[in-house]
Structure 1
């Protein structure tokens, strides 16, 4: 018997969970092993059930307060091994969506695309590939002119510098910690901001807040 893809669904709206359940229960290769209405419930389910994919809203109550599940998802994706994550969202902000990719989310589905895209997204991410729904791709494509679409992906070093900077470290402190020159750190910080579409320090702080880094 073919192994079913085990899925946990997390969203703070019962109607959304019901809609996702309706879509996925029609697929014989997918089994829903749990549903959660908040991040705490998702954490409990992950401790109790083996799971291949988490389908999660990113705007539901978080473990650390507020209505942001991204910090928990970021910690989840640091585990080895970890389930794949398909994020459900209504956010159309390109830098925010790019930030989800940077923390390791491999499926991002705009809720308006869910009926057509969700089942396929689960199969795609389990195969080790990335799946972005039509609305998500449009939001990401709108960030920059076509020749630079791939520039939105930060390198590992740029992402490392970005995280340390928004945690409050100055450029010279990051340089000392990472044993690089201050000039190199400044260049990587500017490059990260450019790729994320951030022009000012206030933009950077707001973006970090949105993805749970600040």
Structure 2
């Protein structure tokens, strides 16, 4: 069984998620929290495999709760729930170690599938939101100058092989796997393999973190 902790300050949202996940024979909601301040205690008590975490809560928000939890040894995976695809807090939650995020209006079957994949350590996120987030990361707000290149980001990218670096830069430019495949003349399975190697080599959780790193390096 995949043990899930629900964290959302809206009781109706929690009830809806609980009913949705109850349809899966291999998923069990073991506890609920209405605020991020309750998360660590409930994790200690119930040992969930995955936390579905709302990003906006009144006392301790999902960002801080994610940072605290992922700093611990043996922390469960965390998937952030959000209503807005351009929510700046989501980017920071991914940087804090969340395995990804889902929009709250995501189809129930996709949420169940995402829970299964995230619990097994695979990054998950809503594709439409990923595209918008990468666009936000790589272009920034209007009239905002690009930051100076980050030497640590450049050092990390230097750990990649030539083709891996090309794939990473393409991700930083907001390219999809299909676009990368076409532009770099490699099969989609090869692109996916390079992405997996990049994540492993750089100890990252998802494509957004790759895009952030590329952007910080000045290569986007």
TM-score by length of 1: 0.63
RMSD between aligned residues: 2.7
The superposition leaves residues 142-176 of structure 1 with CA deviations (integer Å, 9 ceiling, x where unpaired) of 33489412652327xxxxxxxxxxxxxxxxxxxxx
Task: After TM superposition, give the deviation of residue 61 of structure 1 in Å.
Answer: 2.5
Confirm or deny: 8 A CA contact 1:94 1:142 kept in the other structure. no
- 2:10 equivalent in structure 1: 13
Matched, 1:105 2:98: yes
Alignment match of 1:71 (pick from 46, 53, 64): 64
* Count of equivalent residues: 154
- Cα distance 1:192–1:94, how it changes in 2: closer, same or farther (>3 A)? farther
Aligned equivalents of 2:56, 2:94: Cα separation in 1: 16
- 1:53 equivalent in structure 2: 50
Task: After TM superposition, give the deviation of residue 116 of structure 1 in Å.
Answer: 3.9
Aligned equivalents of 2:77, 2:6: Cα separation in 1: 12
Gaps of 5+ in 2: 140-168, 175-206
- 1:165 equivalent in structure 2: none
The superposition leaves residues 74-96 of structure 1 with CA deviations (integer Å, 9 ceiling, x where unpaired) of 11011111000011111322654
Confirm or deny: 8 A CA contact 2:5 2:52 kept in the other structure. yes
Gaps of 5+ in 1: 156-190, 198-214
Alignment match of 2:216 (pick from 192, 196, 199): 192
Aligned equivalents of 2:18, 2:92: Cα separation in 1: 27
Map 1:41-190 onto structure 2 (within 5 A): 41-63=38-60, 68-93=61-86, 96-143=89-136, 144=138, 147=170, 148-149=173-174, 152-154=211-213
Determine helix, strand or coil for the equivalent of 1:122: helix
Aligned equivalents of 1:194, 1:119: Cα separation in 2: 37
Task: After TM superposition, give the deviation of residue 22 of structure 1 in Å.
Answer: 0.9
- Cα distance 1:91–1:135, how it changes in 2: closer, same or farther (>3 A)? same
Aligned equivalents of 2:213, 2:69: Cα separation in 1: 20
Aligned equivalents of 2:217, 2:9: Cα separation in 1: 32
Q: Quick check: 146-155 or 42-51, which moved more?
A: 146-155
- Cα distance 1:86–1:193, how it changes in 2: closer, same or farther (>3 A)? same
Alignment match of 1:29 (pick from 14, 26, 31): 26
The superposition leaves residues 22-78 of structure 1 with CA deviations (integer Å, 9 ceiling, x where unpaired) of 110110101111011112232331221111001110101234xxxx22112111011
Determine helix, strand or coil for the equivalent of 1:33: strand
